[in-house]
Structure formats: structure tokens, C-alpha cells
């Protein structure tokens, strides 16, 4: 059987299986917000959800930044740390948070996609209390190494937006993973779910209904919670000391969480991964 994934071809299904090694038994869940098309918000969602789980929900989280060469989340961590060092406001806020939660910021490790699982396994072997490891994967699966890493996830959440190009790419990406990995049982993936992101309340609901019918045709489940299109998702630490929403060291500000649906999204994700 030939298996082709966006230009990456295996001679038969056994070649793919050779890329998949059984992950050690662990309570740690490996999760990725992943999609083939850029601009859907996978990196932003990774940071916001990871931070909400770690700083608000009380889980222990780690992030593996595999998005070589830009390593966007690692760069965000550097900006967050610089703000704490240089600004007394953020320094006090970070100190009080560590004291209140009795926990440090979650680790953010850089790794090439082909080494991501090994990096995560090593981290978990040293810290058995990690509940979730989030992977920020490259926006392509054109090589066997990335395919192998995706196959080792426990859960994949694929952000989608109401744009034809993005939808076609995301549906194709999710369908290939569903048909070649999940349905065949040739991966660790327990579930793949689409997530509506950047939903414009001014657009007709009919547009979203049509897209959801297409997803249903390909048996791709969509989370109930949708995230609105809002500038708050881009609010990071700044000299103006405004409320922060996207940060690796602080959780989304409570005043900005209202109406963002992030709290509801995290609750729905927890219902799925804890089953």
C-alpha cells in the first residue's frame, strides 16, 4: 500500500510503522495544536492554553518548540524574561505568582522535529509530575521525521479559520492523519479535533455551517467552543504595562479572559484528554 503525505511517500505501510516506536508508559499527555497552513493560530493557542493549564488550572506543563528555525515560543520566553528583569512591575508580578502558586514557569525547550519525542521523553524521565507536553510543530509534514513525531502525539487539535485556502489545507491535513494513522491504529494518536479560531461574529453563520458540513463528510470532529477574532490574543508584555494575554510566564489576564472563550476551550480539552 502506498502512503503519501504532502510529498512524503512510503513504499508501504510497514515503512511508516518503522518510524513509530512505542512511547514509554506515562501519565503525561503529548499534545499538539497542529496544522499544515500557517496563520491559523497554532503557536498562539499553544502558548495560551499551556499557560492557562499551568498557572490557572494547576497542571504541570512543558513546551517543546519544534518550529525551526524561528522558534517563536522560545523567542517569546526570552521577551518575557527580559521584561521581568528590566521592569519592576513584571518582576514583582512574577515573584508574587511564584510565591502564590509555589511553582516556576514551565520549561520551553527547542528541538528539531525529528528529535522532539526524545527531548520530551528525557524531560519526563527527569520530572514524572509533568501532566502535559505541548509541541509546536512545523507547518509542514513533508518528511518522515515530522510524520513520525506527529504519530507520537496523544491528541492533536487543528485550528481552522473561515478561509477557503486554510480550510482546504487543514481538512486535507486532518483527513490524511485520520485515515493513515488514527483509523488504522498505526500511531499513538487517541483523537484529532478541529478548533474554530478567529471567528468573525459579523460573518453569516451559514458560511460556518457549510464548512462544518464538509468536515462532517470527512468524519472530522469540531470542538463545541469557538474562539473569537480578537486583538487580545496578541497582547504580550509591554512597556505600557497593559494587561497580558499571550505569555509563557503569566496566564491570560482575568479581565481579558472574559469573552475570549479560552477558559471554556481549556475545559473542553480537559474533558477529552482525561477520558
Using a pLDDT cut of 90, give the percent of the chain over it.
72
Q: Is residue 89 part of a domain?
A: yes
Q: What are 224-237's pLDDT values in tens digits? A: 999 999 999 999 99
Residue 220 has pLDDT above 90, yes or no: yes
Please list, in sequence order, all residues whose beta carbon lies within 8 angstroms of the beta carbon of residue 45, skipping any fewer than 6 positions away.
33, 157, 159, 195, 197, 227
What pLDDT does residue 141 have? Answer: 64
Q: Is residue 41 part of a domain?
A: yes
**Domain count across the chain:** 1
Q: Is residue 173 part of a domain?
A: yes
**E strand spans, 15-137:** 29-33, 61-65, 108-110, 132-136
Comparing CA positions, the residue from 85, 84, 41 lying closest to residue 231 is 41
Q: Is residue 85 part of a domain?
A: yes
Predicted TM-score (pTM) of the model is 0.88
Q: Is residue 18 part of a domain?
A: no
Q: Is residue 232 part of a domain?
A: yes
Q: Is residue 12 part of a domain?
A: no
Q: What are 9-39's pLDDT values in tens digits? A: 333 444 444 444 444 446 899 999 998 878 8
What pLDDT does residue 170 have? Answer: 92
Task: Identify the CATH number of the domain in which residue 139 sits.
Answer: 3.40.50.300
Q: What are 130-176's pLDDT values in tens digits? A: 999 999 998 766 677 788 999 999 999 999 999 889 899 999 999 99
81 lies in which domain range? Answer: 23-273
Q: Is residue 16 part of a domain?
A: no
What pLDDT does residue 203 have? Answer: 72
Amino acid at each position: 500500500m502506498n502512503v503519501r503525505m504532502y510529498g512524503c511517500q512510503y513504499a508501504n505501510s510497514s515503512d511508516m510503522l518503522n518510524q513509530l516506536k512505542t512511547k514509554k508508559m506515562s501519565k503525561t499527555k503529548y499534545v499538539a495544536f497542529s496544522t499544515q497552513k500557517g496563520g491559523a493560530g497554532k503557536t498562539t493557542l499553544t502558548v495560551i492554553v499551556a499557560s492557562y493549564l499551568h498557572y490557572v488550572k494547576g497542571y504541570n506543563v512543558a513546551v517543546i518548540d519544534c518550529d525551526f528555525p524561528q522558534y517563536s515560543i522560545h523567542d517569546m520566553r526570552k521577551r518575557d524574561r527580559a521584561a521581568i528583569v528590566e521592569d519592576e512591575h513584571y518582576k514583582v508580578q512574577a515573584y508574587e505568582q511564584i510565591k502564590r502558586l509555589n511553582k516556576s514557569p514551565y520549561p520551553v525547550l527547542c528541538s528539531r522535529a525529528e528529535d522532539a519525542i526524545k527531548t520530551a521523553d528525557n524531560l519526563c524521565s527527569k520530572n514524572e509530575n509533568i501532566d502535559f507536553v505541548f509541541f509546536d510543530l512545523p507547518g509542514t509534514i513533508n518528511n518522515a521525521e515530522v510524520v513520525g513525531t506527529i504519530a507520537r502525539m496523544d491528541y492533536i487539535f487543528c485550528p481552522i479559520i473561515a478561509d477557503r485556502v486554510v480550510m482546504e489545507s487543514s481538512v486535507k491535513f486532518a483527513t490524511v492523519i485520520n485515515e493513515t494513522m488514527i483509523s488504522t491504529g498505526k500511531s499513538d494518536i487517541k483523537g484529532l479535533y478541529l478548533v474554530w479560531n478567529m471567528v468573525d461574529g459579523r460573518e453569516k453563520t451559514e458560511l460556518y455551517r457549510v464548512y462544518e458540513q464538509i468536515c462532517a463528510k470527512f468524519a472530522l470532529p469540531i470542538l463545541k467552543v469557538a474562539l473569537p477574532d480578537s486583538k487580545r490574543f496578541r497582547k504580550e508584555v509591554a512597556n505600557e504595562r497593559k494587561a497580558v494575554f499571550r505569555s509563557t510566564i503569566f496566564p491570560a489576564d482575568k479581565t481579558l479572559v472574559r469573552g475570549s472563550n479560552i477558559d471554556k476551550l481549556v475545559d473542553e480539552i480537559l474533558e477529552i484528554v482525561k477520558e
